[in-house]
Each structure stands twice: as C-alpha cells, then as structure tokens.
Amino acid sequence: MRWTPGGRSKNLEDRRSGGGLGRGLGIGGTVVVLALSLITGRNLFSDLGVEPGIGGAGAPMSAQDSAKQETQVQFVSFVLDDAETTWSRILAANNATFQAPKLVLFRNSTQSACGVGQSAMGPFYCPLDQKLYIDLGFYDELSSRYGASGDFAQAYVLAHEIGHHVQHLVGTDAEMRQAQQSNPGQANELSVRLELQADCYAGVWAHSTQKRNLLSEGDVEEALTAASAVGDDRIQERTTGRVNVDAFTHGSAAQRTQWFRRGFQSGDPRQCDTFRG
C-alpha cells in the first residue's frame, strides 16, 4: 500500500508499556464473560461484581521492542485516519455523522468497557467505549500461522473492526442484539451476518483507496487471503480437524471473501446488506 510514514493518529491510545491485569475470573471465565458483554452490549463484569483476571501477562514492553513496532504503529495510524476521512464523507452523504473511534494498542491484555481483552482473542471492537483494540503481535500470527502476509492484509483486519464501529453508529449492532434476544436460535447466524457486513465495509474503504491510487500490485489479493484465512471453516479445520457450520460466528472463507469483494467492487455501503442479501 502506498502510504506516508511519520505520524501517529490523534485517536491512537498506546497502552503497550502497561503490564497485565488483575485476578478474578481466570482466562476461561474472562473469555466467556467478555464474549457475552460484546453480544449484549453491557459490561457484565460490573453486573456480576467480579474482576477479570489474566494470568501470566508478562512484563511491560521494552523500549527496544516498542521501537521495532514503530513502523506498524505509524501504519495503523495512517489506516485509522484514512478510514475516518472515508467514512466521514460516506456517512455525510447519507445524512449521518461519523464519530472517530479510538484505537487502543496493547500487549498481552488490557481492560475495555466490554471486559478484558487479551492477545489470544485477536483484534476486537467494543461498542460500549467505541474503541478498537489490537495487540500488534497479532499481525505476526496472521502471517506465520494463517499465511496472510503484507501490509494490506493488516489494513483489512483494522478496516473490518472500523466497520463494526460504523455499524454501531448507524444502530445495526443494536438491532442485531435485539433480534438475537428475540430469537436465540438464530444468534449465531445473526452474528455471522454482522461480521460479513463488517467485511463488506472493509471492502468499501479499500475501494476508496483504489480510487485514490493508494493500492500497490497484490494488495487486494493480500486482503482476500486474510479474509479467507480467518473464515470459520478454515479456523475449525486447523484447530479441530472438522467443520461445524452451526458453530460459525464470522462466516466461511468463501463468504468473507465474497462480501469483501462486493464492498470493494461497488464502493457502496448500501450493497452491504448481509441481513437481506
């Protein structure tokens, strides 16, 4: 991707120098409660009166390690600011206002309004504080474990989470949660549709970068490879050796690439209605 290094977004919150978090639920309980917090839109840690706990968070990041990640920090800052400009223009054209999210960089674990986020969960968006969370170490795993390398693969991941922020601003996530509560049997399917729409929104942003001649040869293929690599079927095959469609929460490799491509080809968020299309 053609981008200009050298700056950090004003909406970047760097927590990488912090240590681990407290004790309470432990890893298993924390993951469950955090997932429920994201689905229900409530901070269930507070409701339950418990403190999330992550063991073995490790020492704070060293100055040397921080320096090594500086190029990545500047890159995600660029993507964040560029997506903000793109979505501000798109929403303004549809009589809506884009409120920029914060991007939180953390190492190992961190507190969010949705509970504790940890590196093993991958990047996520918390609608309760309107912040995106990422441990930049995930990008190393994306390349080495999932075979999705390149800066635009990284940009796709961030653009997907920004897509969730757009959904929150226009009320799509709240409507989805209400539908899940009304029909629990469709909870997973609705979750998949929400995730696929975020993929499509990532494609809408990518379309904008193409129009502005920011894409390099192979960038779109990098994004499609990343979208495919994190499909539920690919992840299930890798971890369990079998595929259970009923357990999908994000969509198959084919679905994720299909919806990213639709957003990229159209550049129109109105073509991203995964709840009907």
Domain layout of the chain by residue ranges: 12-271
Give residue-wise pLDDT tens across range 95-113: 999 999 999 999 999 999 9
pLDDT the model gives residue 86: 97
- In this prediction, residues 112-117 reach a mean pLDDT of 94
Alpha helices in the chain (DSSP H): 26-40, 44-48, 63-68, 70-93, 137-144, 151-170, 172-182, 187-211, 219-229, 232-240, 253-266
Largest CA distance in the chain: 52
Long-range contacts of 57-63 (CB under 8 A, 24+ apart): 57/19, 57/20, 57/21, 57/108, 57/109, 58/19, 58/20, 58/107, 58/108, 59/19, 60/16, 60/17, 60/18, 60/19, 60/107, 61/16, 61/17, 61/107
Rounded to two decimals, the pTM is 0.84
Q: Which of 18-27, 81-90, 248-257, 262-271 has the lowest average pLDDT?
A: 18-27
pLDDT-derived band at 38 (thresholds 50, 70, 90) equals: low
Using an 8 Å Cβ cutoff, are 210 and 260 in contact? no
pLDDT the model gives residue 23: 39
Q: Is the model's pLDDT at 45 over the cut of 70?
A: no
pLDDT the model gives residue 69: 87
Give residue-wise pLDDT tens across range 162-206: 999 999 999 999 999 999 999 999 999 999 999 999 999 999 999
Q: Which of 115-124, 217-226, 233-242 has the highest average model confidence (pLDDT)?
A: 217-226
Give residue-wise pLDDT tens across range 130-160: 999 999 999 999 999 999 999 999 999 999 9
Q: Is the model's pLDDT at 57 over the cut of 90?
A: no
Distance, in Å, from the CA atom of 238 to the CA atom of 146, rounded to the nearest integer, reads 10
Using an 8 Å Cβ cutoff, are 25 and 51 in contact? yes
Using an 8 Å Cβ cutoff, are 93 and 60 in contact? no
Distance, in Å, from the CA atom of 220 to the CA atom of 41, rounded to the nearest integer, reads 33
pLDDT-derived band at 65 (thresholds 50, 70, 90) equals: low
Residue 43's CB is within 10 A of a number of other CB atoms, namely: 18
Distance, in Å, from the CA atom of 200 to the CA atom of 103, rounded to the nearest integer, reads 20
> Tokens 């986020």 sit at which residue?
117
Q: How many residues does the chain have?
A: 277
Percent of the chain scored above 70 by pLDDT? Answer: 82
Give residue-wise pLDDT tens across range 243-269: 999 899 999 999 999 999 999 999 999
Write out the two tokens for 219.
């960038």
Q: Is the model's pLDDT at 43 over the cut of 70?
A: no
